[in-house]
Structure 1
Amino acid sequence: MKHFLYILLFITSTLSSQNVDSLFDEANELYKNEQFEKAIENYKQIESRGFVSSELFYNLGNSYYKLNKVGPSIYYYEKALKLNPLNKDVQNNLVFARRLALDNIEELPKTVFQKLNNRYLQKLSYNQWAIVSIVFCALGSLLFLLFYFSNQPRSKRTFFVTSLISFLFLIISLTITYNQFSYFKNNKVAIVFAEETEVRNAPSLNSEEVFTLHEGTKVIVLDTIDDWKKIKIADGKIGWIISGDIQLLDNF
């Protein structure tokens, strides 16, 4: 009976994967024929089944961009970058999409470490940094074994030094992995979907309006109370926004 269930699960999984491939190809064809809304329907069907990929989100971003829907296009480009931070096509299209956003928010000056983090360290996701750590761990272990079993003094010295260097890089990559994981866990990014929304100084419609945001602006979510979210924008301003006016970028 168990074998039958395993076979049934395998067949179901295979058919589901083939169906997704068919939907993806059909959506791509619809996109080529400039039927962007129908293409989005197909892409969203794939997403609703739990399938995620940088290519899927990139195509969704392109489809929404063609329809001049700023918020969703930026949202899906950002999701694509979270899965593949090195994708140049997504990076370039995100720049074009951001130009359509109305809010021009000047960022606060960054420290040297923040600049290093943004320009270089965040080019890889924390999962990719974890893979780098595993590689250095394996390399260091292999070099240490070669040092241990080597009989030549010169070779032993070489293997010992290179193994120490590998373990040093392992510690550095592990630190970066932890920092990147903490950053993404504690900094919940969201995109404004409302065409225009008021940000208030308290989670209440009766509270004072402090500033206005428009579709496509990226915010950091700091807290949640009922139907309100406390947000921070790039220039350091903080306020409360109605939860339905923004869309959180999920962590994968």
Structure 2
Amino acid sequence: MMKYIILIALGISSMAIGQDVNALFEKANQEYKNGKYEDALSLYEEIEATGKISSALYHNIGNCLYKMNNVPGSIYNFETALAIDPANDDARNNLEIAKKLTLDRIEELPKNIFQKFHSKYIASISYNSWAYICIVLSILAGILFILYYFAVNPALKRLYFVLFSISVLSLSGTLYITSSQFTSHKNSVYAIVFEKETSIKNEPTRNSEEIFLLHEGTKVKIIDTLDEWSKIKLVDGKIGWLKTSEVKVII
């Protein structure tokens, strides 16, 4: 009996927290519309502290910071919004606007046709969404198999078998994509430079040779760490070392 009481209490508590978060979100949105960006940001960060994060939340935080002329902060939050939901077009558009205020102009290495297809169609969907597609396809495959098994009409039986086979093949492909997306997400660590200007070294030591400079707002990929240093790679292929404290990792 006590177990059920605890579960009910937890459920009521979760509903109350959810309602509080929704109320805070609406209030923050209103403060933003009224031009009170600092007040709106404070409310959004209060929501973030509850753990009820979302792509929309980080998009709105990015908007506040952009209005407050915090370019690296806005870029970081737009990137975080896209990391949670790659299909968030508003965050993507605002990210491109914010990036125009950065000093570094880094040309991405050319992509082949397969890389372009992957980035445009596959990587634009989060691995969570691909997982939901897998669930739908598995249910569909199960239904089609049952229909095939119990079908009496030979023509319908063949049709259900063909559709079942197609759904199984689609499920296999989607499972592979989901696994690849998840692995890529976990193994790829990206960060935003928060220093006004930082020197990129050829080795993880203070007295090593400077090979190029980066400025706030630039996105880098972290490929290794050593003590207080991080080895980074840019989209144009350049590699170097900087202080870990000079960047903020995107969640």
- Normalised by the shorter chain, which TM-score bucket? over 0.9
Give RMSD over aligned pairs: 1.5
Seq. identity, %:
48
Q: Tell me which amino acid in the other structure corresponds to 2:165.
A: L
CA distance, structure 1, for counterparts of residue 33 and residue 242 of structure 2? 38
**1:106-121 to 2 correspondences below 5 Å:** 106-121=107-122
Instruction: Kindly state the Cα deviation for residue 23 of structure 1 after the two structures are TM-superposed.
Output: 2.2
Counterpart secondary structure, 1:202:
coil
TM superposition score normalised by structure 1: 0.94
**1:40-55 to 2 correspondences below 5 Å:** 40-55=41-56
Instruction: Kindly state the Cα deviation for residue 3 of structure 1 after the two structures are TM-superposed.
Output: 4.3
Q: Tell me which amino acid in the other structure corresponds to 2:224.
A: D
Counterpart secondary structure, 1:244:
helix
What residue in structure 2 maps to residue 193 of structure 1? 194
Counterpart secondary structure, 1:110:
coil
Write the deviation string for residues 143-169 of structure 1: whole angstroms up to 9, x where unpaired: 121111101110011111111111111
Instruction: Kindly state the Cα deviation for residue 138 of structure 1 after the two structures are TM-superposed.
Output: 1.4
Counterpart secondary structure, 2:100:
helix
Q: Tell me which amino acid in the other structure corresponds to 2:135.
A: I
Write the deviation string for residues 202-225 of structure 1: whole angstroms up to 9, x where unpaired: 122111111111111111111111
What residue in structure 2 maps to residue 180 of structure 1? 181
CA distance, structure 2, for counterparts of residue 137 and residue 7 of structure 1? 32
What residue in structure 2 maps to residue 160 of structure 1? 161
What residue in structure 2 maps to residue 221 of structure 1? 222
Change (3 A) 1:155 1:5: closer
Q: How many residues of Structure 1 are paired with residues of Structure 2 in the alignment?
A: 250
Change (3 A) 1:222 1:146: same
**1:1-252 to 2 correspondences below 5 Å:** 1-250=2-251
Q: Tell me which amino acid in the other structure corresponds to 2:108.
A: E
Write the deviation string for residues 71-124 of structure 1: whole angstroms up to 9, x where unpaired: 111111111112222222222111111111111101112232211111110110
Specify every segment of 5 or more residues in structure 1 that has no aligned partner in the other structure, as ranges: none
Counterpart secondary structure, 1:203:
coil
Moved over 4 A (4+): none
Instruction: Kindly state the Cα deviation for residue 38 of structure 1 after the two structures are TM-superposed.
Output: 1.9
CA distance, structure 1, for counterparts of residue 20 and residue 139 of structure 2? 39
CA distance, structure 1, for counterparts of residue 5 and residue 120 of structure 2? 52
> Is the deviation greater in 163-172 or in 20-29?
20-29
Specify every segment of 5 or more residues in structure 2 that has no aligned partner in the other structure, as ranges: none
CA distance, structure 2, for counterparts of residue 11 and residue 128 of structure 1? 28
